[in-house]
Structure 1
Amino acid sequence: MKGTIGFQVKVEKDELYFVDNVLKAYEGLALTTVVGVKGEIGILNLEATEGTKDDVLEILENLQKQVELEIVEGE
């Protein structure tokens, strides 16, 4: 999507839907897509705008205090 910043979040598969639902609770902040599970790791794709990028990163960084997750920034 033009004008968006992509992120990928890798999280334990048992926490995947928790993280997805937390992000969806912030309606309009980011588009979330559950990619699936590889082994014990769940993968979630996010698309945010330049205006919401910092908010999304702040939420993800706060979530890292509760669940183990890895944030991979896209282009």
Structure 2
Amino acid sequence: MGDYLKKACCLLFALTTLAAASPVFAADVLHIQPKQHDCGLVDEGVPATMTAVVENVSGRDVHVSSVKTN
């Protein structure tokens, strides 16, 4: 059981390190800057929609598959 726990901890550490390093590698791929944003009218109880216009300043072709906000 102790050997299994060591292997599981090593795997978890490796996955955590890789997940933490991924944004560092991705930061060189896509550089955007906001040009315009508009939240529109926000009513209570209705999900808000925000429209944003961004410009790719990295000089590379990019494909955005999803956007998450906080």
TM-score, normalisation: structure 1: 0.24
Greater RCO (CA < 8 Å, at least 6 residues apart)? 1
**Which has the greater radius of gyration?**
2
TM-score, normalisation: structure 2: 0.25
Higher strand fraction: Structure 1 or Structure 2?
A: 1
